[in-house]
Amino acid sequence: MIKLTIPTSLKDITLRDYKKFLDVEKENKDDRFLNAKLIHIFCKVSLEKVMLLELSDAEDIVKTISDMFNEKPALVKKFKIGKTEYGFHPELDSLTLGEYIDLDTFIGDWDNMEKAMNVLYRPILVTVKERYSIDEYNVDNFANALDMPMDAVMSSIFFLWNLGLELSTVMTNYLDSQETELLTQHLSSQKNGVGTEQFLHSLKATLDDFKISLN
């Protein structure tokens, strides 16, 4: 008898393992091989043992895991990686320009999804009842996000999808703020100031199209 642990929800699967499967999927189109790798990666069992499973059992496992990825989980606000508790950004309308650019750049790119999640989820510093504060954004901390659960990843993507137009409007207003005028003045004063206005116009268009990048 082969013993293996079958994930029962997306929280049992890490972003790291999901990316491993996506890498395999890119290079292989054989459904039988992909099903075997799915069990191998998500159930953390060797391929040799996967091949010893009864066909009906293997099919049931594949269906169980595949069905989980068809769910649309509610936003996961908190989770733990080791002893560190992470929280979803409690004030998206206060994102810095740099945070927003990183989020918009990576949210639709599974090769770099951990970089988007690094913007959205950070270590919790203080918790008071239902409210909490999170650590400052550190662009170099993205590797930690590889070990976050997939229910948090998927739920945050769906949350942003639904937020879409509202967040786009918020960020467009942010670009119209006085801070942006100061940024424009600073960039225009640089030696490579030629083309700065075009750059900012393109950036504003990118933020206006935020909801498209979530499709």
Mind spelling out the 3-state secondary structure of 47-100?
Answer: HHHHCCCCHHHHHHHHHHHHHHCCCCCCCCCEEEECCEEEEECCCHHHCCHHHH
Is residue 4, in this structure, part of any structural domain at all?
no
Q: How many domains does the chain have?
A: 2
Q: Are residues 59 and 136 in the same domain?
A: no
Structural domain of residue 147, as residue ranges?
78-214
Residue 66 has pLDDT above 50, yes or no: yes
CB atoms within 10 A of CB 192: 8
Structure confidence at residue 152 (pLDDT): 96
Q: Are residues 135 and 206 in the same domain?
A: yes
Tell me which amino acid residue 137 is.
Y
Q: Are residues 84 and 24 in the same domain?
A: no
What is the chain's alpha carbon radius of gyration, rounded to the nearest angstrom? Answer: 21
Instruction: Give the H/E segment covering residue 131.
Output: strand 131-134
Is residue 60, in this structure, part of any structural domain at all?
yes
Is residue 186, in this structure, part of any structural domain at all?
yes
* pLDDT tens-digit readout, 131-181: 999 999 999 999 999 999 999 998 888 888 777 645 455 555 555 555 555
Q: How confident is the prediction for the chain on average, in pLDDT?
A: 81
Q: Are residues 160 and 207 in the same domain?
A: yes
Residue 193 has pLDDT above 50, yes or no: no
Last residue of a domain, which of 23, 42, 68? 68
* pLDDT tens-digit readout, 68-113: 888 888 999 999 999 999 999 999 888 898 998 888 888 878 899 9
Structure confidence at residue 166 (pLDDT): 54
Residue 2 has pLDDT above 60, yes or no: yes
Last residue of a domain, which of 68, 94, 110? 68
SS3 39: helix
Contacting residues for 211 by C-beta, under 8 A, at least 6 apart: 161, 164, 165, 167, 168
Residue 202 has pLDDT above 50, yes or no: no
What is the pTM assigned to this prediction?
A: 0.75
Q: Are residues 23 and 101 in the same domain?
A: no
